[in-house]
Amino acid sequence: MSRNKRWRRPAAVAAAVLTGLAIGGGTASAAPGPGSDGAGDGYYPQDGNGGYDVADYNLTVGYDPATHQLDGVQVVTARAEQDLSSFNLDLSGLTVTSVKVNDLTAKFTRTGEHELVITPARTLSRGQKFTAEIAYNGVPKAINDPLLGANGWQYAASGGAFAAGEPKSATTWYPVNDTPRDKATFHLAVTVPDEWGVIANGREEGTTKTEAGTTHRWAESTPVVPYMTTVAIDKWEFHRSQLADGTPVVDAFAPGTSATTKAAEARLPEVLDFLSSKFGPYPVDAAGGIFLAEPIGFSLETLSRPIYSGRAGNLQTIVHENAHQWYGDSVAVQSWKDVCLNECFASYATWLWSEYNENQNLDDRYRSQVAQASDQFWAGKLYDMGPGNEFTSVYSKGPLALHALRHQIGEAAFGKVLKTWPTLHRNGNATLPEFQNYASVVSGQNLQGFFDTWFYGNTKPSAQYLYPGSLTPRT
Ligand SMILES: [Zn+2]
């Protein structure tokens, strides 16, 4: 994600309430129990669920831009990780009309902010593969975030709609296990009136004419975190091409998109080649971008096809969001406190781009920013910054920390770490302490002091860590 401008968050941020206790599971001989109603994130304990692992979402949606009515059928294919008497999905608002598990009608209730509790007719055994089919409908509503504005399903002035948000988005338009820890493939069929176009993640699988309009099929075969899924409905101008290796590129430009933005996106193959040279092979099955007309407060690294605010169709943002395909998408956070693994790296990618393409001296850039940094700047944390504070210092202090790390461990080790980490954790999740450990192993240095001050601390680093190696202060 990249924010368009610095918005001040209201001072008080509620502390996370740690309530997501796992229920059930227990020993092998225990009776089947309910799956947990949370996935265990310390900041958002109710997001996601436990007791099963989703392999695929197969979502069929009909959407009428005139009435905002959405009719959906979600088929979740999953595997039980414990004997389950019931399990939860997450869904915000909307009306569930029926649920089947393994083709048998299941009971369901709605509880809390977004819990859909499903009780199958037959208990699920640990290890059992199962399907849950949920029919639902209604008018989707965005979740309001004080920092970022609307998250999730949003309406475009053109009459279209789109889904984008972090850390929450998917629950506003489909039932889901809403946690970065459960990645799955994502198949989407969207039926809209003929005059509307549809863009989503992954590869195009064709269109079919129906009585209700045209059905547009998209398939994402790279496992995707729920908030990285998207769909956008508008009167798009599509540009289709391929990367050198045949990977399909689909760009969708909202009516009115500037020639400058289109020219910037035309450089995507060059951007991805550059990023591959730094981060290793492109880890996703498709590429492209979704360029909204709406001036929303952020752009987002939705998988294979970032979605851009109407005010952010520039090359720096394109580099940032595509860097996330490695750092954030393919390798997702284990917990939200690890978000520096996404944002510090995507932000530093734009530094690397400037160094490579504009001959920018990054040491000078670093020294200049350090010279201007206030106490408040240093007080921002890059790890465990607290819920609601994830998208603040990671953009400003984050790239400085990585540039200092580059000097701390040297060019060769830093380059190796950047390039091999995404392959090591491809399609997985990771923590910042794991990254620290990896950088230590590759460099042969104990980096505890460095990480304590730069990543875990909230004060200005001492000269030893502020100016490591050849990064001497400006005199
Ligand atoms: Zn970002």
pTM over 0.75: yes
Residues 6+ apart with CB under 8 A from 183: 223, 224, 225, 332, 427
Distance between CA 326 and CA 1 in Å, rounded? 13
Torsions phi, psi for 249 (to 5 deg): -115, 125
Residue 153 CA to ligand 1 center (angstroms) comes to 19
SS3 168: coil
Residue 2 CA to ligand 1 center (angstroms) comes to 4
Cβ neighbours, 10 Å, residue 17: 10
Q: What is the pLDDT of residue 14?
A: 36
Residue 347 CA to ligand 1 center (angstroms) comes to 7
Give the pairing type, strands 248-253 and 298-299.
Answer: unpaired
CATH code of the domain made up of 334-466: 1.10.390.10
Residue 396 CA to ligand 1 center (angstroms) comes to 12
Residue 271 CA to ligand 1 center (angstroms) comes to 16
DSSP H helical ranges for 147-298: 259-265, 268-279
Helix pair angle (268-279, 340-357), 10° resolution? 110
How far from 176 is each of 160, 236, 436, CA to CA, in Å?
23, 27, 32
Q: What is the pLDDT of residue 5?
A: 56
Residue 82 CA to ligand 1 center (angstroms) comes to 35
Residues 6+ apart with CB under 8 A from 100: 106, 131, 132, 133
Residue 321 CA to ligand 1 center (angstroms) comes to 6
Considering only CA atoms, which of 355, 364, 361, 331 is closest in space to residue 345? 331
Tens of pLDDT along the chain (475 residues) come to 988 754 433 333 333 333 333 444 444 457 999 999 999 999 999 999 999 999 999 999 999 999 999 999 999 999 999 999 999 999 999 999 999 999 999 999 999 999 999 999 999 999 999 999 999 999 999 999 887 789 999 999 999 999 999 999 999 999 999 999 999 999 999 999 999 999 999 999 999 999 989 999 999 999 999 999 999 999 999 999 999 999 999 999 999 999 999 999 999 999 999 999 999 999 999 999 999 999 999 999 999 999 999 999 999 999 999 999 999 999 999 999 999 999 999 999 999 999 999 999 999 999 999 999 999 999 999 999 999 999 999 999 999 999 999 999 999 999 999 999 999 999 999 999 999 999 999 999 999 999 999 999 999 999 999 999 989 887 6
Residue 299 CA to ligand 1 center (angstroms) comes to 8
Residue 85 CA to ligand 1 center (angstroms) comes to 39
Residue 300 CA to ligand 1 center (angstroms) comes to 7
Distance between CA 304 and CA 203 in Å, rounded? 9
Superfamily of domain 2-329 in CATH is tricorn interacting facor f3 domain (2.60.40.1730)
Residue 320 CA to ligand 1 center (angstroms) comes to 6
Residue 296 CA to ligand 1 center (angstroms) comes to 15
Residue 117 CA to ligand 1 center (angstroms) comes to 33
Residue 434 CA to ligand 1 center (angstroms) comes to 20
Distance between CA 164 and CA 192 in Å, rounded? 19
What residue spans in the chain does CATH classification 1.10.390.10 cover? 334-466
Residue 339 CA to ligand 1 center (angstroms) comes to 9
Residue 343 CA to ligand 1 center (angstroms) comes to 5
Considering only CA atoms, which of 458, 452, 470, 324 is closest in space to residue 406? 470
What residue spans in the chain does CATH classification 2.60.40.1730 cover? 2-329
Asked if residues 201 and 219 have their Cβ atoms less than 8 Å apart, the reply is no
Residue 332 CA to ligand 1 center (angstroms) comes to 12
Asked if residues 223 and 235 have their Cβ atoms less than 8 Å apart, the reply is no
